[in-house]
Amino acid sequence: MVTVALLAAACQTEPQPVAADPAEAVMANILSRKSVRSYTADTIPAAVMENLLRAAMAAPSGRNIQPWSFVVLNDTSRYDEIFGDNHNMSMFKQSAVVVVICGDTTVVRPPRDNPDAPAVQQPSGTWRDDMGAVTENLLLAVEAYGLGACWTACYPYLDRMAPVKQALGLPATVVPYSVVPIGYPAGDEQPKDKWDPSRIHYGRW
Ligand SMILES: Cc1cc2nc3c(=O)[nH]c(=O)nc-3n(C[C@H](O)[C@H](O)[C@H](O)COP(=O)(O)O)c2cc1C
């Protein structure tokens, strides 16, 4: 979170209060994240937007493949074409920015059983996991900047993915995984307390 504080300072925005103890700051960030579904009309400074995406791209990925790409949208006149009858449309249209997080389902590398052979395009085993990590990283950075966002599913719903894929011209192997509207919160959403010690098993189930 020290890093987030530095990034915030670097782009001349109002940094969120940062605890002196980095561990405390990180815990505060994670525990205060919540889905925000209503937004003010305020726009997001370009430098903040870049930092959000920088944080997203810092996510872990299997074999460090980094299968993600982002399509950043703010022209609401295109949303009917892009999102069809997605039930989250009112959220999308109210937000300052919608980020479509896309994942490549393939990876180009030498066959696993023959590392010296030329690289070939093959299915990626971990792209879904990687996409979850990148989406959560984005949400945590959103929280750090006092913004609000909501993870909305696109993959694996064909009816949601089809118009997005078509309207945004995604390559054949790339799928729109999640759609994240971002803006300054209009309401007062609070984080949910999900701590449940009964979910933890020590040694064995
Ligand atoms: C894979 C996934 C898909 C989701 N899809 C939607 C969605 O389509 N619309 C929506 O309003 N929220 C969606 N959410 C947000 C969840 O409803 C929310 O995370 C959950 O209720 C817990 O609340 P919290 O995020 O405030 O902790 C989705 C979350 C995840 C992880």
CA of 153 to the centre of ligand 1 (A): 8
CA of 152 to the centre of ligand 1 (A): 6
Of all protein residues, whose CA lies closest to atom 7 belonging to ligand 1?
A: 152
Instruction: Tell me the C-alpha to C-alpha distance, in Å, between residue 23 and each of 20, 26, 30, 117, 126.
Output: 9, 5, 11, 45, 29
Of all protein residues, whose CA lies closest to atom 17 belonging to ligand 1?
A: 35
Beta bridge partners of 148: 183
Residue 10 has pLDDT above 70, yes or no: no
pLDDT of residue 18: 60
Q: What is the mean pLDDT of residues 150-178?
A: 98
Residue 9 or residue 181, greater confidence: 181
Of all protein residues, whose CA lies closest to atom 9 belonging to ligand 1?
A: 152
pLDDT of residue 138: 98
Q: What does the mean pLDDT of the chain come to? A: 92
CA of 25 to the centre of ligand 1 (A): 24
Q: Is 54 left (phi over 0), alpha (psi -120 to 50) or beta?
A: alpha
CA of 155 to the centre of ligand 1 (A): 13
CATH code of 2-188, in short, is 3.40.109.10
Beta bridge partners of 98: 73, 181
CA of 191 to the centre of ligand 1 (A): 12
Residue 94 or residue 7, greater confidence: 94
CA of 34 to the centre of ligand 1 (A): 9
Give every CB contact of residue 13 below 8 A, 6+ residues apart in sequence.
Answer: 45, 47, 48, 145
Give the ligand 1 atom nearest the CA of 34: 26
Q: Which of 18-22, 51-55, 143-147, 168-172 has the lowest mean pLDDT?
A: 18-22
Whether pTM > 0.75 for this model: the answer is yes
- pLDDT for 28-81, tens place per residue? 999 999 999 999 999 999 999 999 999 999 999 999 999 999 999 999 999 999
**Residue 5 pLDDT grade (very low, low, confident, very high; cuts 50, 70, 90):** very low
Cβ–Cβ under 8 Å, residues 140 and 33: yes
Cis peptide, bond prior to residue 156, ω within 30 of zero = yes
- pLDDT for 116-147, tens place per residue? 999 999 999 999 999 999 999 999 999 999 99
Give the ligand 1 atom nearest the CA of 37: 11
Pocket of ligand 1 (CB under 6 A): 34-35, 37, 88, 150-153, 192
Per-domain residue ranges for the chain? 2-188
pLDDT of residue 12: 41
pLDDT of residue 45: 98
